[in-house]
Amino acid sequence: MHTPAGFEPALSMPAVVSAGAVAFAWRRDKLLVSGAADAPRDGPMPMLPGFATIAALGLAGTPHFLGAQDGVDCIAVNLPDNAPEPAGWHYAGLRSLFFRIPEPLLALAGRAFQIVEWDRTHRYCGRCGTPTRDKTGERAKECPACGQVAYPRVSPAMMVLVTRGRELLLARASRFPSGMYSALAGFVEPGETIEDCIRREVREEVNVEIAPPAYFASQSWAFPHSLMIAYTAEYAGGDMRPSDEEIADAQWFALDALPALPPGISIARRLIDATVARLRATGSC
């Protein structure tokens, strides 16, 4: 997920909200969309409510202005945990909306969720416990007692696809769906560069040393606030074996014998597909 073309971010709610403004209304980790929760996946696409519809449905929450997508105002709304579910609408997890709403809306929903989640979890100063207030001029909360400022949290994580000639190193985490393998991934620790993190995680998870990694792409991942930064790296040594309790299995896979892979919306799949295409184009099978 990335910022859609045509999106202009902004901070302050307009004095008059435009009639066509769209609401990304979150109750806990679920988004208000039209239709029934058990509607068939190939049925009508779920729609987002207009901002004016929120009040008309008897709902109320804290609004956060996101900006405008092709001139249409976009507003995140933090609904209370006990907000009712109006007839004709339901609350849906973001993952359940993959491939069901257009990708630009999905990306904006992820952005909205991260801001709403930050709003909910920074109501009090982490240093002195005083209720915080919104800071003017930037997306931040400040403590009126001690001045501590809290910004929306973004947690960098790395993903790396290790190659050895024409083989890919793919691993199964215990939490993956049955049979699925993916590239290695892990969160950056304090004091580390992305490259430090990649070398450490590869060593820790599969006991392998790598050549300097090459950048591939990054993806915002709102579960709950990651920035996934993806690389490839060529094997440089070590006797590969899963050596972290999170890793159920890891193997070198030939290009023509790949296991089940993550779905196409994930950067993991794009990384694997692009690497397979590159290796196929550069050598003889």
The smaller minimum CB distance to Zn ion, of residues 130 and 193, is found at 130
| Shortest Å distance, C-beta 127 to Zn ion | 5
Our CB check for Zn ion shows the closer of 97 and 125 to be 125
C-alpha dihedral over 268, 274, 276, 281, to 10 degrees? -170
Minimum separation from the CB atom of position 138 to Zn ion (A): 18
Nearer to Zn ion, 37 or 146 (CB): 146
| End-to-end Cα separation, the chain, in angstroms | 33
User: At closest approach, how far in Å is the CB of 140 from Zn ion?
Assistant: 13
- Residue 96 or 148 with smaller CB distance to Zn ion: 148
Q: In the structure encoding, which two tokens stand for residue 113, read together?
A: 């969720």
**To the nearest whole angstrom, how small is the minimum distance from the Cβ of residue 95 to Zn ion?**
35
The count of C-alpha atoms lying within 13 angstroms of the C-alpha of 277, restricted to the half-sphere facing its C-beta, is 6
Q: Distance between CA 274 and CA 149 in Å, rounded?
A: 41
* Shortest CB 152 distance to Zn ion, Å: 18
Binding site for Zn ion (CB under 5 A): 125, 127-128, 130, 143, 145-146, 148
Residue 145 or 248: which CB sits closer to Zn ion? 145
The tokens of 284 are what? 């003889």
